[in-house]
A and B are shown apart, each in its own frame.
Chain A
Amino acid sequence: MSYLYKNLFIITLMTGTLISISSESWLGVWIGLEMNLLSIIPLMNNSKDLKSTEASLKYFIVQAMASMILLMGFLINTIKINLPNNLLLENLPSSIITTSLMIKTGAAPFHFWFPEVMEGLNWMNALIMLTWQKIAPMTIIMYTHSNEILITTVIMFSVITGGLMGINQTSLRKIMSYSSINHIGWMMAALLFTETLWKWYFLIYSAMNMAIIWMLSKFNISSIPQLMAMSKNNPKMKTFFMFNFFSLGGLPPFIGFLPKWLTIQVMVLNEMYLTGAMMIIITLITLYFYMRITMPLITLSSSSSSLNLSNQQFKSKNMMSLNSILLTGLLFSTMAFNWI
């Protein structure tokens, strides 16, 4: 059984994203997004797993619909301004296009497909879904210069939904997707101001997700009770795992605080006090459910679990070094700014 075709589709997936973020006309944007969509479907599919097929189908339908709305938006725009090969946008089509791209990222009022799709994927696909699939739509939202009220509404919706819906979940995939919805809210706030800020946020968010999902996929964990099995045999991994979640929640000594800090600073300098305050307080709810995940790890209790999935002591130098660099990143970057 050869999975060689997956390499091909990874390449086209990346090419699609790159085409859409670097094209000069809306048609190019659309083509890139379609390429990206058509190449992730075979990546998701796994003939032994029906859930992934279902997920890929759902994903396809939603994304195709969003692409159609995007197509409609830029056609309206072309009719209005009569310049087909241009990124200029009228007011109405700009809102339509932004909305369609929000559907593609899974920002909050349009998020309903996102946890459902995530539930069916394996962890590596979930990682692609949480990180790489956000690049193209969000970059293009940055180009549309849509009105601030729309974006602010979506920010608030995303932050609130991401916080509230994650509370009662036990499936880690669902939790990661709701946390991603929350972070999408923050990233929207970042891209409202500067591209660099968004890039930093996205990079750090992706790195944190990579660290967490790497562990989850190595230990084959998909719900909270299974975490006990990991924590029993691997105290070091357990500590790293715990700190990674604190980092994702944006607690200071870890790198996750850095993008939040920068975003809040820029928001305050642009006089968005209320939005910033709301975002930062509602994000505490996500911190609460991260804390629920880490609770069996942080209490240092070593009761045995019936779900004994991984017996072996697990050691990976790569994983350890990635984690240590990530977690201490804030201290090093602060030092780099202040002492050099």
Chain B
Amino acid sequence: MMKFLLMMLMMIPLSLLKNFYWINQFMFFALSFFFILNMSVDWTFLNVYGMFGWDLLSYVLVLLSMWICSLMVLASVKIKKESFYCEFFCLVVLSLLIALFFAFSSLNFFVFYLFFEISLIPTLILILGWGYQPERIQAGAYLLFYTLFASLPMLIAIFYLVDIFDSLFLSFFDYPIDSLILFFCVNLVFLIKLPMYFIHLWLPKAHVEAPVSGSMILAGIMLKLGGYGMLRMMKLFVGVLSCMNYIFIGISVLGGVFISFLCLRQTDVKSLIAYSSVAHMGLVLGGIITFTYWGFCGALVMMVAHGLSSSALFCLANITYERVGSRSLFLNKGMINLMPSMALWWFLFSACNMAAPPSLNLLGEIMLINSLVNWSFLNMLGLAFMSFFSACYSLYLFSCSQHGKFSNNLYNFNSNSLREFLLLFLHWLPLNFLILKGELISLFI
């Protein structure tokens, strides 16, 4: 615990040095690799220090955040090339990583809340500071106020929980509290973060306006904070959810179908990917709400898989954005003519996004579909539509961007660099190889 904390703290002065961008990059990757060596297994909290420690759930998500943060630095070389506050950028990414590290590994609910909130500010700075359009101000305000509006009632709920349990340690929340108000106070912010279908509006805005690093961290980790919080707090609300889980499962499955329809008529690449993550996270929410073993484990697998695949899709969108200067699917056509090798990556990640076989998304989707169908056979209808249309919009994304005639507006064009292939490969490798030993990252209870 301490070694990683100290390593990250010592990286703060490193990030402020000029021309140390690649050294920072190296340290981020070194951190992730060191962290792999400290694997935690199943439900026991290992490496406990103070009020921090990891069971498998925390471990996997901390590892994911380290990995995504490393890849964020790798993806944002444009900031270094233009030297647009690039030291500050490193510092923001690092502080985001520290906040996420603490949020995922805290054993105390209040500390989790604290770092959950702290992670908001670096994200806000990332979106507002390095975003492209003036609309990013609105997007930032949406992000901040959607989250804060729901997270402040959670603060009150936390102190209420102290009163009941005399402690905020997550393991001590051992008997259910059947209060609907408390359920909403605690979980509304997680539902917003996740995001649940009706309260997802901040997400496409934030994604569209964010720079590539902002989109990656949002899709990769920030949404998982919601899922993580729900997985941790669910045992308090067994009673509440046993009488109203049908509402949430209905919203998540039907919402997933509607969002899939919505994806099919997006013209903005980033917006399409953002909406597709709403659909996937809807599935995660449904799995958590069913209260089944399959559902909980599948939620974790799906979160990891979605974190990697949608982050990779945002990278791809940015790679073409840097060349074409637009996110529109009408201008981003025919890329297979210009970047033939990149078309392979587009295909691989579209396939992952639709949960095609060798990907972790498949494992997650199988587990979640199992849990949801087990809950009610009626879900089969919604899930069938959702799976089918997720394939549809993934193929739509692939074929629209890669095939067809490329736009005549393109005046000059540079082909892909090795860095970009490495970036995508490092997304793809864990996504498609972790399924070979799926129990290692899924069975956390």
Q: Which residues on A are within 8 Å of B, measured CB to CB?
A: 246, 251-253, 261, 264-265, 268-269, 273, 276-277, 280-281, 284, 287-288, 291, 295, 298-300, 334, 338-339
Contacts of A264 in B (CB 8 A): 155-156, 159
Determine whether the beta carbon of B160 is less than 8 Å from that of A268: yes
Docked CA distance A252–B151 (Å): 11
Contacts of A252 in B (CB 8 A): 114, 117-118, 121
B95's closest neighbor in chain A, by CB?
A253
CB-based contact A299/B136 at 8 Å: yes
Please provide the 3 A-B residue pairs with the shortest distance between their CB atoms, ordered closest to farther: A268-B159, A252-B117, A300-B129
A235 to chain B, nearest CB (A): 8
A281 touching B152 in the complex, CB below 8 Å, given contacts A299-B129, A300-B85: yes
Number of interface residues, chain B, beta carbon within 8 A: 32
Which residues of A sit under 8 angstroms from B125, Cβ to Cβ? 298
Query: Residues of B contacting A295 with CB < 8 Å?
Result: 128, 137
Partner among B50, B140, B145, B155 whose Cβ is within 8 Å of the Cβ of A338: B50
In the complex, whether B57 has a CB less than 8 A from a CB of chain A is: no
Tell me, in angstroms, the Cα distance from A277 to B121 when the chains sit together. Answer: 22
Chain B's nearest CB lies how many Å from the CB of A130? 25
B129-A298 in contact (CB<8A): yes
- In whole angstroms, how far apart are the Cα atoms of A287 and B143 in the complex? 13
A269 near B159: Cβ-Cβ < 8 Å: yes
Task: Name the A residues within 8 Å of B120 (CB-CB).
Answer: 251
Bound-state CA distance A127–B148 (Å) is 29
Are B152 and A298 within 8 A (Cβ)?
Answer: no
Is B170 close to A, CB under 8 A?
no
Interchain CB contact under 8 A, B124 and A298: yes
Q: How many A-B residue pairs have CB under 8 A?
A: 69
Q: A253-B121, A300-B84 known; 14 other A-B pairs, CB under 8 Å?
A: A253-B117, A261-B155, A264-B155, A265-B159, A268-B156, A268-B159, A276-B156, A277-B152, A280-B152, A284-B152, A288-B145, A298-B124, A299-B137, A300-B85
Which applies to chain B's interface (DSSP): helix, strand, loop or mixed?
A: helix
Offer 10 A-B interface pairs, CB within 8 angstroms, sorted by A. A253-B121, A268-B159, A269-B159, A277-B153, A281-B153, A284-B152, A287-B145, A298-B140, A300-B128, A339-B50
B174 on the A face (CB < 8 A): no
Task: Select from chain B the residue with minimum beta-carbon distance to A251.
Answer: B121
CA distance A339 to B50 in the complex (A): 8
- Asked if B141 and A338 sit within 8 Å, CB to CB, the answer is no
Assess whether B261 is interfacial by the CB under 8 Å rule: no
Q: Assuming the A-B contacts A287-B148, A300-B85, are A277 and B137 also in contact, with contact meaning beta carbons closer than 8 angstroms in the complex?
A: no
- Which residues 102-155 of B sit at the A interface, judged by CB distance below 8 A? 114, 117-118, 120-121, 124-125, 128-130, 136-137, 140-141, 144-145, 148-149, 152-153, 155
Q: Does B82 contact A (CB under 8 A)?
A: no
Residues in A whose Cβ lies below 8 Å from that of B155: 261, 264, 280
Chain B 252-282, CB-CB to A under 8 Å as 1, else 0, gives 0000000000000000000000000000000
Give CA–CA (A295, B148) in the complex, Å: 18
Contact B128 A299 (CB under 8 A): yes
Q: Which residues of B contact A300 (CB under 8 A)?
A: 84-85, 88, 128-130
Q: Are A280 and B156 in contact, CB atoms less than 8 angstroms apart?
A: yes
Residues of B within 8 A of A281 (CB): 149, 152-153
Chain B residues with Cβ below 8 Å from A338 are 50-51
B208 to A: closest C-beta gap in Å: 16
* B129→A251 contact, CB < 8 A: no
| Across-interface contacts of A253 in B (CB, < 8 A) | 99, 117-118, 121
Q: How far is the CA of A280 from the CA of B50 in the complex (A)?
A: 30
In the bound assembly, the distance between CA atoms of A291 and B127 in angstroms comes to 14
Residue of B nearest to A295 (CB): B137
How far is A182 from B321 in the complex, measured between Cα atoms in Å? 44
CB distance from A275 to the nearest CB of B (A): 10
Residues of A within 8 A of B130 (CB): 300
In the bound assembly, the distance between CA atoms of A79 and B153 in angstroms comes to: 47
Output the least CB separation between A297 and chain B (Å): 10
**Which of chain B's residues has its CB closest to A330's CB?**
B114
CB distance from B169 to the nearest CB of A (A): 13
Point out which of A280, A338, A339 has the most chain B C-beta atoms below 10 A from its C-beta: A280
Residues of A within 8 A of B99 (CB): 253
**Which one, B141, B153, B163, contacts A288 given CB within 8 A?**
B141
In the complex the two chains form, is B137's CB within 8 Å of A284's CB? no
Most buried by A among B88, B129, B136, B148: B148
A291 and B141: CB pair below 8 A?
yes
Structural contact, B121 and A273, CB atoms closer than 8 A: no
Known A252-B118, A298-B129, A339-B50: A291·B144 in contact at CB below 8 Å: yes
Q: Which chain B residues lie closer than 8 Å to A291 at the CB level?
A: 141, 144
